[in-house]
Structure 1
Amino acid sequence: MTSETKIYGLIGYPVKHSVSPQIHNAAFKTIGINAVYLTFEVKKEFLRKALDGVKALGIKGLNVTIPHKVNVIKYLNKLTYEANLIGAVNTILNEDGKLIGFNTDYTGVLKTFETYKIDLTNKKIVLLGAGGAAKAIAFAIAEKASSLIILNRTKRKAVNLVKELNKKLKVNALGNSLTFKALKNSLKDADILINATSVGMEPNVNQTLVAKELLQKDMVVFDIIYNPLETKLLKEAREIGAKCINGIEMLVQQAAEAFKIWFKIEPPINEMRKAALKSLTGEES
């Protein structure tokens, strides 16, 4: 580090678990950028002061995580189409004191399916969850899918997300309660299943929302959780022969999009992926 080192970082609360510093600092080192990526724990009541500090200190860019993705919007100068559509921001560019909000989860999920050579066009997709991550995924995939079924433990949240999708986009979507019966009816002819909840994440690795008997060998199963790399859902999907995608790729792809926004160059995505895997497993990929 020198007096000219540029600062980037992550704001949220908590953020100690994040692997974003390892991913971005690996990218900076690979390309030879004089920058450092740090984490900043910011409680809700200090969000505005934190963003004033970003401008005052000349911090060049930020990622934004829970609980600030929605509340941060009112302090920004401009939003991109995706961020405005979803109503959430996870990346900020400081452009000469003007803060511009982006949502790279939107692009990240599309890039993930592209990486695995999975075409979403005219597919029946079942999405579990209706929180922030699920919302970004829903807006990214809804127009491509032939139908999108959103299942959530609280039915109202799923229905409200579908209403928002239908208000902003022309889609075929349905919201329902996340029950065994609804899962069984939805999954029997589904092409893609996406878990956008935290069920199965460390330390609750023996949990899953989907009984193994409901999984089909010709479906794609995508779990956005990346710790563990193979959740119980993915383990059982693999055992019956389904194509499985874990959350590491979306994590890396959204980080790569943020890198592009900040530096206007292609990121070293392979090195970013290696850094993420090493951070999570302690092993070189």
Structure 2
Amino acid sequence: MINISGIIFLLVTIPFGIVMADLRVGFYNSTCPNAESIVRQVVQNRFRTDPSITAALLRMHFHDCFVRGCDASILIDSTKSKSSEKDASPNLTVRGYELIDEAKKNLEAACPSTVSCADIITIATRDSVALAGGPNYIIPTGRRDGLVSSVSEVSLPSPSFSVSQALQSFSAKGLTLNDMVTLLGAHTVGIAHCNFFQARLFNFQGTSKPDPTMDPTLVAILSKVCGSGSNPAAFLDQNTSFVFDNQFYNQILLNRGVLLLDEQLALDKLSAPMVLNFARNGAAFQQSFANAMVKMGSIQVLVGTAGEIRQNCRVFNQ
């Protein structure tokens, strides 16, 4: 760990070749020295009234990086002639766009056409994690914004996947099993709408019964939540729902995983040892999470003269 201006940051180990040369710590030091503090202030203001923003930004960042890389393509609004990534089914419940807009507006006032929307997502996510009690890690910046956003390109790992199926999706992005188990630990502050897990409550695999691997008390609680028919949401960590800690892993060890994939992490022999380690060692989880987030944030990034620096995160430059 190192201390910068009174803020504790976790140092991260970045595998050689993951981060391209133009993606570096302090990228905006000369062109927009207050860039990260401007983003941080916006995130802090929102977090004071809405601690759920941490989960929202983590989801946005993940959904962005897994389609065309971390290029802010998820931020583009659809037009009459073309549907963007926002219109894809998995992204219909992604939120937090207005926070990115506010940060961009403030950055444009301070440093016009300098800081990318892709970097704003990455910085804002890191800051929201730290505010929720998670690691405050150092991230390289210098991403540029993509020029394509298409609904047809959105393909994300399903919450109903097995561990092996999910690992195929993560491996395709250069991420390991440990990265996957670590990144899914973000569900410690996450929520899921009933349509993503209600089959486990009422008709698991066509049995007309609940999933036998789910704690019966949790089944009863979630059945009441999902019984309204309005597709409400439930916390993925039923214990410390707004705190970024390792309780998610302890919950799934008690068969209290809400999503099928989450529970499978604790049951599958490939991932179970990692789950047990993170459940016992919160510090190990936090360090691993910092490393995995930096690694994920470097997937297929655009640097140098590729892409653009959008003036409005919702539309491509004219």
TM value normalised by structure 1: 0.32
Larger strand percent: 1
Higher normalized contact order (CA 8 Å, seq sep 6+, divided by chain length): 2
Taking structure 2 as the reference length, the TM-score comes to 0.29
More helix by share: 2
